[in-house]
Amino acid sequence: MKIYGPASYNEQIATLSHYLHNTNFKGTDDEIQERHTELLNLIRDYLEHKIPSKKFTDDQICQLAESPMSFDLFGEFYQVPFPSPQKYKHSFIDLFAGIGGIRIPFDELGYQCLFSSEWDPKACKTYFANFGTVPFGDITKIPANKIPKHDVLLAGFPCQAFSIIGKMQGFADTRGTMFFEIERILKYHQTPYILLENVKQLVGHDKGRTFKVILEHLEQLGYHVKWQILNALDFGLPQKRERVIIVGFKDKSDYDSFSFDIPYKPYDLSEILEPDNQVDPSLFASEHIISKRREKTIGKNIFYPSIWHENKSGNISVLDYSCALRTGASYNYLLVNGVRRPSSRELLRLQGFPEKYKIVVTHQDIRRQTGNSVAIPMIRMVAEKINEIIKAKDYETSETQGLKAVADA
């Protein structure tokens, strides 16, 4: 994870944060020494930036490098809602990381994140506050050999190029070509397991040709691929959010073991709503907008709690769930009970983020970030199924090694 090319301070902090969360580095003696030297330099630069009035000796820097968790100086890296596991057996990388929605289920399973990448500064701020690592920036500028070897590749690669809202330009939009960055990394690392997420429109884009290209490229890399369009409504979330989930396995037996069979979990809108008296008054619609909404729902079945959704044609639907959260939608396209916009916490709940998830940016930023994020319970189901396969393989390996040891005795 050595810094590539001329490094900005943000890139230095990204490297430092990844080093601090990945202390069990394995490599040659020269690689370990090179990493240690860079860590010392990064810590010195960080402290000079954070406490310019204090000078640290070489011995002090070495002590900090040996046991960084023992010092309050690094609290912002470690005192977070989702800290890295102290011990781990399996690892993943988090590409197009956003605010970390795809990684949370793997964190819960005890996996270690070895590398993350996200270009949006506000998303990186949210990510750092919750995971203690600053994602690296533009993935197109990061050589594959600078990314650590890992067990699972996660990527919610940019969907705007394939979405209805994003005009569906596909590979003609530079955001659509980000899939080939994933392919580049997979080709180098031959990652055993992959989990990709995108809008359902990807499947039918350009009469299915775009999706066919993606599947063919994955198969050419030796992956056995399964995919399915899943809806957040089926996972206990009151949001109609349909996404295509793609999983890939290097081992055919792993592929055979995986299925998208899921138990349906009912949703309840009331569970995610906050009392109106606890919601920022600025989120309440004007009397004019409320009046217009009521006029358009005359004769319709009105009930509470509900989400009033206005589509592009101006029609109003009164629903017991939210339509898909979107980044570029009009400010009032979703109104809780027809009178107010969802709060930041409610938007996070609609995507299944845990209550301990920190909000460190503006409401407008959260609107954009949740619109770009994933339905966590949906990802959790897939993550658990992949983990079951990996655990079974671990058991088979340990059994084989145990039998070999007995035979050799």
CA-CA distance, 14 to 1, in Å (whole number)? 10
Q: Which residues contact 329 (CB under 8 A, 6 or more apart)?
A: 165, 371
Is 117:97 a contact under the CB 8 Å cutoff?
Answer: yes
CA-CA distance, 128 to 146, in Å (whole number)? 21
Please tell me the predicted confidence (pLDDT) of residue 147.
Answer: 94
Take residue 43 and report the two structure tokens written for it.
């810590």
* 70-97: burial string, b at 16+ Cβ within 10 Å, e else: eeeebeebeebebebeeeeebbbbbbbb
Please tell me the predicted confidence (pLDDT) of residue 196.
Answer: 97
How far, in whole angstroms, is CA 284 from its chain's centroid? 30
> Would you call 159 a catalytic residue per the annotation?
yes
Is 329:313 a contact under the CB 8 Å cutoff?
Answer: no
Strand segments, DSSP code E, in 33-190 are: 91-95, 112-116, 152-155
| Alpha helices for 68-152 (secondary structure H) | 75-78, 103-108, 121-131
Long-range contacts of 270-275 (CB under 8 A, 24+ apart): 270/305, 271/238, 271/349, 272/238, 272/346, 272/349, 272/350, 273/305, 273/336, 273/346, 274/343, 274/345, 274/346
CA-CA distance, 38 to 170, in Å (whole number)? 40
With bands split at pLDDT 50, 70 and 90, how would you rate the model's confidence at 328? confident
Q: How much is the pTM? A: 0.90
Catalytic residue among 62, 113, 124, 159: 159
Please tell me the predicted confidence (pLDDT) of residue 322.
Answer: 97
Lowest mean pLDDT among 22-31, 34-43, 162-171, 199-208: 162-171
Please tell me the predicted confidence (pLDDT) of residue 73.
Answer: 84
How far, in whole angstroms, is CA 122 from its chain's centroid? 14
With bands split at pLDDT 50, 70 and 90, how would you rate the model's confidence at 11? confident
Is pLDDT above 90 for 390? Answer: yes
Please tell me the predicted confidence (pLDDT) of residue 406.
Answer: 47
Is pLDDT above 60 for 78? Answer: yes
With bands split at pLDDT 50, 70 and 90, how would you rate the model's confidence at 22? confident
Nearest to 332, CA basis, from 263, 286, 380: 286
Taking only the tens place, the pLDDT of each residue in 115-154 is: 999 999 999 999 999 999 999 999 999 999 999 999 999 9
- Name all domains of the chain by residue range, CATH numbers in brackets: 269-370 (3.90.120)
CA-CA distance, 120 to 135, in Å (whole number)? 10
With bands split at pLDDT 50, 70 and 90, how would you rate the model's confidence at 176? low
Handedness of CA 82, 371, 275, 265 (dihedral sign): negative
CA-CA distance, 318 to 335, in Å (whole number)? 10
**Vertex 394 angle, CA 391 and 396, to 5°:** 110
